[in-house]
Amino acid sequence: MPPDDKGITDDTELWRRIPPDQMTDDDQVPSGWRPSTGNFDKYEMSVVIAAESVGGLDGLLSGWEGFGVASFTAGEVRQLEFGVVRDPDPKLPGHALVVGNKSHGKRTRLARLCRLIRVPRPIPGQSAGDG
Amino acid sequence: MMTATGEFAIASLSRTGIQPYSPAARRVARPKEAPRRETLTEEPRAVAFELDFANGERLKVKLVGSGHEPTSFWHALDRIEHLSRLPSGWDSYGARPLSARAVRRSFELFSSLLDDRTPEPNVIPTREGGLQFEWHRQGIDLEVTCESSGTVSYYYADSKSGEEREGVNGATRQAVQEILRRLSQPA
């Protein structure tokens, strides 16, 4: 099992930036549009703990115009057998890592279960689902 | 600057019922900053252009086809042109720029991936400088990845049957064509 900080409770909300170029159509999600699996393939995947993010969504997206934000909970990623650990970064309060081997199937499940709380700006010529 | 040259046959894309490619109309419609494509006078079914990548690579491309390529083909070209300009760190997490090798491999696969009967893929950059062609329809997930190393792989999952498989290089083309045939059938 990957390392896991149980001090981060299951209901802790985690955020990850989503670049506009990494969105894909998917008829299995209500919006018809979701982050590509390529957003979630790193063994140590960078996230921030939402409650500790300075400036909220705008703070996370400062300097990243047009990006979206995907949200999921620590409990949801633990159900995929990933761990969540803190990774202190002075420039990014609340920085943490979702740790674990992200098989293609697990990446797809995470891409479908996450919630887009900030929708990326659609790229011209690229579909933007129903939304 | 590294320069690669490739000529990629796309003649097998030809199907009936597709609007012919109109180079003149297309040039008018293109944004000013986009690379200019020219239909070669000695070969009216070929299109030549160059891609300048953010990592300094340059790829000279000659696509040879029928002149009746499906819309998805031109959309994919537009996407690749756009993605070739993504700088290092484009995803905010240190992603690499798109590599010319990945694009070469993509062009080599075009005739397998882009057919007027198959649904249009999403063309997505990967953080390692590769390109991913994705379809998620009718309970089927298909992702074909051309990596910056030149490796081509695919992932397939069918939520109805529970089947899931992956393959690399030689196993890819035939498997992907079979899956795309299924995706092409009406729901």
Burial of residue A27 (CB within 10 Å: 0-12, 13-18, 19+) is middle
The predicted structure's pLDDT at residue B113: 82
Burial of residue B128 (CB within 10 Å: 0-12, 13-18, 19+) is middle
From chain A, the residues in CB contact with B86 under 8 A are 21
Q: Quick check: is A51 in a domain?
A: yes
For the entire predicted model, the pTM comes to 0.84
Distance from CA of B137 to the nearest CA of A (A): 6
Q: Contact A125/B78, CB-based, under 8 Å?
A: yes
| Residue in A25, A46, A64 closest to B122 by CB | A25
Q: Quick check: is A20 in a domain?
A: yes
Our count of domains for chain A comes to 1
Range(s) of the domain holding residue B172: 3-184
Using the Cβ of A55 and the Cβ atoms of chain B, whether some distance falls under 8 Å is answered with: no
Q: Quick check: is A128 in a domain?
A: no
Q: Quick check: is A80 in a domain?
A: yes
The predicted structure's pLDDT at residue B35: 52
Our count of domains for chain B comes to 1
The predicted structure's pLDDT at residue A131: 37
From chain B, the residues in CB contact with A21 under 8 A are 82-83, 86, 90-91, 124-125
Q: Quick check: is A82 in a domain?
A: yes
Q: Quick check: is A69 in a domain?
A: yes
What's chain B's average pLDDT?
79
Q: Quick check: is A100 in a domain?
A: yes
From chain A residues 20-49, the ones with a CB under 8 A of any chain B CB are 21-28, 36-39, 41-42, 46
- Mean pLDDT in residue range A62-90: 97
Q: Quick check: is A126 in a domain?
A: no
| Residue in A27, A64, A125 closest to B92 by CB | A64
| Residue in B75, B138, B157 closest to A105 by CB | B157
From chain A, the residues in CB contact with B91 under 8 A are 17, 19, 21-22, 39
Q: Using one digit for the tens of pLDDT, what is the confidence trace for B38-74?
A: 544 444 567 788 899 999 999 988 887 777 778 888 8
Higher-confidence position of A77 and B22: A77
From chain A, the residues in CB contact with B92 under 8 A are 17, 19, 64, 67
Of all residues in chain A, the percent with pLDDT exceeding 70 is 93
| Residue in B90, B132, B139 closest to A36 by CB | B132
Range(s) of the domain holding residue A85: 13-118
